[in-house]
Structure 1
Amino acid sequence: MKTILAKLLSKFISKQEQAWITNAVKEQEKLLLNLVSTAKNTKFGKDHNFETINSHQDYTKAVSIQDYEDLKPYIDQVREGNKDILWPKTPKYFAKTSGTTSGAKYIPISKDSLPYHIKAARNALLRYIMNSNNADFVNGKMIFLQGSPVLEEENGIKMGRLSGIVAHYVPSYLQKNRMPSWETNSIPQWEEKVDAIVEETMTENLTLISGIPPWILMYFEKLQERTGKKIGEIFPNLQLIVTGGVNYEPYREKMNQYLGKKVDVIQTYPASEGFIAYQDQLGKEDLLLLLNHGIFYEFVPVEEFGKPDAKRLSIGEVELDTNYAVILTTNAGLWSYSIGDTVKFTSLDPYRIVVTGRIKHYTSAFGEHVIAQEVENALKNTLEKYKAMVSEFHIAPQVNPVSGLPYHEWFIEFKEEPEDLERFKNELDQQVQNQNPYYFDLIDGKVLRPLEISFIQDNGFNLYMKSQGKLGGQFKLPRLANDRNIADGLQPYIK
């Protein structure tokens, strides 16, 4: 019965989605004016003359691009219990995330924005069901690897990790299938929690697992250590993996090795600020941008980001294959808020994207500005050629080496090392040159020398994250840096 209903619902929802997909530009124009009108009597709305805004052009003049530091004075007022500051009344929740300059960040989730987080996650599964004609997984057990659902409270507003907040809203028809138990999910220490999940789930009929790739891999590794079996043997009916948070591609080969069989993967793009996109086609990596889910989008060409006169493009003005910084205005009270991510459009009908990296996560010793998408593609191509496997990696510039020219230092934890390390290193450098012409020019002009690899011990990245108090939870290791803070922290874990 569940399978039949899920297939019927998938067709119904897909027809509903098609209505806004074909009218995306008008939906976005209308949404912006609705958001501004709703918040015109808030403190932020009054401070920025929302009453005078009648177009996107008016909006860009009234509201500059904001980062967390810009919005923090308003958020602090909300945390003190004040109403009508960024959005009417007070938020239902604060999603607590780790910040770089501000310590913890508190991202508001309103009663208006929360349903879209839930709806988007549901629709990603329904789209998969429609595309694959497979809904059998709804009858088995589903594991959600997420943050603790135990929430704090401050002046009547509950707060916690986004995944912990969303755990309170798993639909009733999935509650009996959901794992781990509430008690296990509430364990605060990540390694202890994963061990408990292994014990609780290893004999169950698992059909779906959801989480960010590093969490899933840690779970799979512990399962395999515990049983001595491939994951496909432990869970013969596992049909679907749902991931988000980081690009899945660098983890794919290692994931497949653990699984020992083919399992479908859906990639999603959830953020504390809103659920941005999900994979709507089987076998393709780009994601459908959700343009009627309470978020108005602006896109700034990366090379202009941070400039006072930077172009702020609405959805109807974007182009293919251009790297954009993503700016959000949401129905939770974030106004022209830079989330720090960069994307490229792969399709304009419908609007589909790939995430290319982070504004602040890049490696640029001499202006080459190497981004995540480029290094991930380079590494993927090199691994395929040399039949190696990587668990995790990080890149930092070495600007002041003991001798010789500066270079990019790659910290790599290999699951399977290549037979010829020197050839592997040379191929990897060549692949980066192929991906980034500025890097090629610097190597060719003898400004930089080819990359060097530092080998990280088994489980070294997890040990580093644990030493920083950032193992599990919502923490993700930045793949690229423009300084050596992480590189210096990794030194004890080099082979």
Structure 2
Amino acid sequence: MDPAAEQERQLLTLVRRAAGTRFGRDHRFDAIGSVAAFQRAVPLRRYEDLHDDYLAGALPALDNLLWPGLTPYLALSSGTTAGRTKRIPVTWPMLRANRDAALDLMAWHLAANPRARPLAGLSFMLGGSTALDPAAPGVLQGDLSGIAAHEMPVLLRPWTWPPEELALMPDWDAKLDALARRAPVEAISILSGTPSWLLVLFERLAARAGMPPLPALDLLIHGGVAWSPYRNRIAPYLPPGCATREAYAASEGFIAVADRGDGEGMRLSLDHGCFFEFVPVEELGSANPTRHWVATIETGIEYAVVVSSCAGLFGYLIGDTVRFIDRAPPRLLVTGRTSWMLSAFGEHVTGEEIEAALRDATAAAGIAVAEYAVGPEFVASAGRHRWCIEAVGDVPPHAAKGLAATLDVALRATNDDYAAHRDGAQLAAPAVVLLPPGAFAGWMRAEGKLGGQHKVPRVVADPDRFAAMVAVLVAHRP
């Protein structure tokens, strides 16, 4: 209930625990006694910086490097826009902290729904393969959901689903079919996963079991991508009384959980092994960006999230952006990724502006979007944005031109830089390519990232990588 005092306590506990590690010695953790002292001693780092400074010569055996002892797990995270596979350390204290944060989610659900019975049936986690690979003696690596399944307490396993032979399946298409075919639909009371894949599962379950496909479902837990594009499409599959609750969990830690309803923000996890900082997005490229924490945050500002954790990450930029809607307690909305900005030509269009423009344009055209990606490309002496949009159902090809015009109008209205570059001819009119159902799944399959916690990158700022992506996507057009 005292966010600043609790967060400072979390930070100083982390610093004391890690003082004897190589990272702690390098940054004089033994001399840090305040948030300000920590911020002076520890610079901000992205994964690439951490990898070059510490991980490159030590992976996969991180022994007393970032956190005391040998780090037992490495969570593989693709990084939604950079394309490089990250190996994020996961320690025993982090696993305990994640479990505690998950209990918070359940507590908020029961507080809002006192007659709910989420534990009356099975808990179904829709994740990637739970198979873990031995990376070094005493070190396993794999999907974070696989790590969580591996550490599931024995006493809880009878109340979880799927069984091991299904959870280990590496082929995502085959796994989804098997899950839909064998799910004990009458017994599942909790379902969790990424909305895009939850929708596919519901469609396959409904084809087999009818509507609603999970009649005993009490709680749907979602996270990983924005909920708003999927809310209305998933709602028909939910039985009466089923609640939905958002969780903001990353490979780097459990960050926030919805303590109220949809759209009312998520409450920052103040006391579960993480200290959080927030950097105004427009300052990310500066030499000395302002580092806010819960004592100094303001509402209405878009911040990049920085975490220091009991997995040994300190001053680490996780790549997400948020905006606070409350300060006491801190409650936030996820607004996108730090790399969700199109500025190849100086236009500075943010991820939130991109989402809003697409939402307005497709609503006006009566089109429901399954997936999309947008990126820069060069045409003649100017640049432009190309939007690859996979719609739900059939859309006439001529709709692409109208969508492009509406997107252009929306971005002109919300972003002065975009309008100036359009008027100055540095930026040509956007182009839209409409894709058939399954196009993005085909691209993800080609990338080896189909299913689990992998997500379609909404914004691909690198022109070369975006061009390669478009080449695969348009190959799915008839």
TM-score, length-scaled by structure 1: 0.87
Which of the numbers 67, 88, 103 marks the counterpart of 1:87? 67
**Residue of structure 2 equivalent to 1:216:** 198
**Residue of structure 2 equivalent to 1:168:** 150
**Residue of structure 2 equivalent to 1:53:** 32
Between the aligned partners of 1:80 and 1:169, the Cα distance in structure 2 is 20
- Residue by residue over 1:143-202, the C-alpha shift from the partner in whole angstroms, topping out at 9 and shown as x without a partner, is 211122222221212222111111134456653332211210111111111111011116
Structure 1 position 461, deviation (Å) = 0.6
What code does the residue aligned with 1:190 have? W
1:396 aligns with 2:378: no
What code does the residue aligned with 1:492 have? A
* 1:186-335 to 2 correspondences below 5 Å: 186-201=168-183, 203-226=185-208, 229-230=210-211, 232=212, 234-256=213-235, 263-335=242-314
* 1:13-24 to 2 correspondences below 5 Å: 22-24=1-3
What code does the residue aligned with 1:165 have? I
**Residue of structure 1 equivalent to 2:348:** 369
Structure 1 position 398, deviation (Å) = 2.7
**Residue of structure 1 equivalent to 2:386:** 409
Question: Contact (CA 8 Å) 2:129, 2:146: kept in 1 or not?
Answer: yes
**Residue of structure 1 equivalent to 2:103:** 122
Between the aligned partners of 1:452 and 1:289, the Cα distance in structure 2 is 39
Structure 1 position 480, deviation (Å) = 0.8
Between the aligned partners of 2:231 and 2:83, the Cα distance in structure 1 is 33
- Residue by residue over 1:389-447, the C-alpha shift from the partner in whole angstroms, topping out at 9 and shown as x without a partner, is 1111111123225xx96432111111045688254443333333344333233335554
**Residue of structure 2 equivalent to 1:17:** none
Structure 1 position 83, deviation (Å) = 3.0
Structure 1 position 64, deviation (Å) = 1.1
Structure 1 position 270, deviation (Å) = 0.6
The unaligned stretches of length 5 or more in structure 1 are 1-21
What code does the residue aligned with 2:290 have? K
- CA 1:35–1:200 in structure 2 vs 1: closer, same or farther (change >3 Å)? same
Question: Contact (CA 8 Å) 1:371, 1:480: kept in 2 or not?
Answer: no
Which of the numbers 78, 84, 87 marks the counterpart of 1:98? 78
What code does the residue aligned with 2:88 have? I
For 2:392, what is the secondary structure of its paired residue? strand
Between the aligned partners of 1:184 and 1:487, the Cα distance in structure 2 is 33
For 1:61, what is the secondary structure of its paired residue? helix
The unaligned stretches of length 5 or more in structure 2 are none
Question: Contact (CA 8 Å) 2:62, 2:71: kept in 1 or not?
Answer: no
What code does the residue aligned with 2:110 have? I
Question: Contact (CA 8 Å) 1:277, 1:289: kept in 2 or not?
Answer: yes
- Residue by residue over 1:66-118, the C-alpha shift from the partner in whole angstroms, topping out at 9 and shown as x without a partner, is 22233225335554646322111122322122257684322111222211111
- Residue by residue over 1:261-294, the C-alpha shift from the partner in whole angstroms, topping out at 9 and shown as x without a partner, is 7743211111111000111102334111112111
1:143 aligns with 2:120: no
For 2:421, what is the secondary structure of its paired residue? helix
Question: Contact (CA 8 Å) 1:128, 1:282: kept in 2 or not?
Answer: no
Question: Contact (CA 8 Å) 2:132, 2:140: kept in 1 or not?
Answer: yes
Structure 1 position 43, deviation (Å) = 1.1
Which of the numbers 303, 311, 319 marks the counterpart of 1:340? 319
Give the stretch that moved more between structures: 254-263 or 352-361: 254-263
**Residue of structure 1 equivalent to 2:93:** 112
Question: Contact (CA 8 Å) 2:216, 2:239: kept in 1 or not?
Answer: no
For 2:87, what is the secondary structure of its paired residue? strand
Question: Contact (CA 8 Å) 1:162, 1:272: kept in 2 or not?
Answer: yes
- CA 1:252–1:58 in structure 2 vs 1: closer, same or farther (change >3 Å)? same
Give the stretch that moved more between structures: 101-110 or 204-213: 101-110
**After TM superposition, what 4+ stretches of structure 1 lie above 6 angstroms from structure 2?**
none
Which of the numbers 437, 455, 470 marks the counterpart of 1:487? 470
Which of the numbers 52, 55, 70 marks the counterpart of 1:75? 55
User: Aligned-pair RMSD on alpha carbons?
Assistant: 2.5
- CA 1:247–1:334 in structure 2 vs 1: closer, same or farther (change >3 Å)? same
For 1:309, what is the secondary structure of its paired residue? coil
Question: Contact (CA 8 Å) 2:393, 2:437: kept in 1 or not?
Answer: no
- CA 1:436–1:224 in structure 2 vs 1: closer, same or farther (change >3 Å)? farther
Aligned residues: 469
Between the aligned partners of 2:140 and 2:37, the Cα distance in structure 1 is 35
- CA 1:342–1:80 in structure 2 vs 1: closer, same or farther (change >3 Å)? closer
**Residue of structure 2 equivalent to 1:436:** 415
For 1:397, what is the secondary structure of its paired residue? strand
What code does the residue aligned with 1:206 have? I
Between the aligned partners of 1:379 and 1:447, the Cα distance in structure 2 is 22
Identity %: 35
Structure 1 position 373, deviation (Å) = 2.1
